Amino acid sequence: MIRHPLKLEPIFKEKIWGGRNLERILGKPLPPDVAIGESWEVSEHGEDVSRVCEGPFTGRDLRELRDAFGEALVGILGLRTASDRFPLLIKFIDAQDRLSVQVHPDDAYALGHEGDLGKTEAWYVVWAKPGAKLVSGFSGETGLEEVRQAVEEERLEDLLAWVPVSEGDVIFLPSGTLHALGEGIVVYEVQESSDVTYRLYDWGRGRELHVERALDVLTYKPTELPKTRGLSVEEAGGYRTFLVACRYFALERLEVFSEMAGECDGRSFHAISVVEGEGILIYGEGSLKFAKGETFLLPADLGPYRLEGRFVSLLSFVPEVSEDVVRPLKEAGYGPDEIRSVLRG
């Protein structure tokens, strides 16, 4: 058993398009004089493995703990999703400048060509400057040769679908979707545990491109339902908003005014990142204080818990979609079309 919450130390990534907004918006203690583009909050990918920074498991990393505790940490559903690694990679991204236009392969292609998983992911917009926008797919139906020619002639921008975004928007990006964050956006990202990215276009910055593999895996039809704001359910002490769910992950927004109950019942861990305010976690054997910008992981066998305070957090886990998403939304009175707006993939 591993019935203690795990507060995790972030892994900061310097990027040419990064900045200091993770410090300004989320209060993260960034290293000085460095443009930080990403903060990996929960990771067991390659050499980037999250380490516990508080409590009885301080100093131990997520790989050690998964090897030691297995199902008790990740849950039955987590093991089904990925038996050889922690199933999700969770990060914050600061796009001070535009990211490259890129695409991720599906699992079959990535395993065959890269020896890694593919990547389906979702973004929650934590902050965006006025007029901010991002790329999600193509503006119209296109094809391989038209896209190849546009890349060669450095006019791919003409084919892109630009989506205006503001705080609270959610973008679901299944594998094969061309995408890019525009400048002036901070997002929370939940994804499969993979770092396979094919860069198709980079705004003339001269970095390596992966054109042929990108063309192999692209979805050439326009993206349907590029963004959502989810469906909210009022609970005692706050609101739970179901943002997006697919077979790899579910993402919820918890807005807590006083307290809210939860439970890790053995099926999946709960990963919680705080984006506003502060509070305290009450669980069977104790309590844990948390504040804006921090992430903590609740093991699958933690049992019932309670969140107290005034804060907004994002909760990611591996779902049983019909039970964890469809049932509570039906009980709240949402109809089939509304529920489908949350379910993806």
Closest to 252 in 3D by CA, of 266, 240, 264? 240
CB of 21 closer than 8 Å to CB of 186: yes
Residue 25 has pLDDT above 80, yes or no: yes
**If you average pLDDT over every residue of the chain, what do you get?**
96
pLDDT at 255: 98
The pLDDT value given to residue 223: 84
Catalytic residue among 199, 213, 240, 344: 199
Indicate the pTM of the whole model: 0.97
How far is the C-alpha of 101 from the C-alpha of 57, rounded, in Å? 39
pLDDT exceeds cutoff 80 at 208: yes
Helix (H) or strand (E) holding 48: strand 48-49
Sequence letter at residue 222: P
pLDDT tens digits, residue range 278-305? 999 999 989 999 999 999 999 999 999 9
CA 90 to chain centre: 5
Which residue shows structure tokens 């990918």? 45
Q: List pLDDT tens digits, range 136-187.
A: 999 999 999 999 999 999 999 999 999 999 999 999 999 999 999 999 999 9
Q: What are phi and psi of 42, to 5 degrees?
A: -135, 115
pLDDT of 1 above 90: no
Per-residue confidence (pLDDT) for residue 13, from 0 to 100: 98
Q: Is the dihedral of CA 147, 149, 154, 158 positive or negative?
A: negative
Mean pLDDT (whole number) for 233-254: 97
pLDDT at 345: 73
pLDDT category at 311 given cuts 50, 70, 90 is very high
Residue 169: DSSP 8-state: -
Q: Kindly state the percentage of the chain with pLDDT values over 90.
A: 96
DSSP state of 184: S
pLDDT at site 225: 78
What count of Cα atoms within 13 Å lies in the side-chain half-sphere of residue 133? Answer: 9
Q: CA torsion sign, 120 to 122 to 128 to 133?
A: positive
Average pLDDT in the 312-330 region?
97
Instruction: Verify whether residue 199 is a known catalytic residue.
Output: yes
What gap in Å lies between CA 94 and CA 147, rounded to an integer? 28
Alpha helices in 45-143 (DSSP H): 62-69, 71-81, 107-113
What's residue 185's pLDDT? 98
d(CA 190, CA 124): 9
